Amino acid sequence: MLACRACAHHRDVVPIASDARRPRAMIVGQAPGITEAGGGRPFAGQAGRTLFRWFARAGFDEHTIRDTVY
């Protein structure tokens, strides 16, 4: 997805994409916050902290999720 050049928006929209090494699933977020837009890392702000807290309750740590989910 990071290499997409299908339209003119590739010049003005900075993609926010995972660097998962072994992706097995994809999480799609809506309306990234300022933290994500500035750093390009998905779920890096408050919503990400909430999301990873939910995953922790289900028995998944953040490192595992970031490594296996695109």
For residue range 19-60, list pLDDT tens digits in order.
888 888 999 888 888 888 777 788 989 999 999 999 999 999
Q: Does residue 63 lie in a domain region?
A: yes
What pLDDT does residue 16 have? 77
Q: Does residue 58 lie in a domain region?
A: yes
What pLDDT does residue 1 have? 66
Query: In the chain, how many domains are there?
Result: 1
What pLDDT does residue 64 have? 92
Provide the residue range defining the domain that includes 47: 8-68
Q: Does residue 1 lie in a domain region?
A: no
Q: Does 10 have pLDDT greater than 90?
A: no
Q: Does residue 3 lie in a domain region?
A: no
* Residue 41 Cα distances to 7, 9, 48, 58, 59, angstroms: 22, 19, 10, 23, 22
What pLDDT does residue 62 have? 95
* Cβ contact 21:65 at 8 Å: no
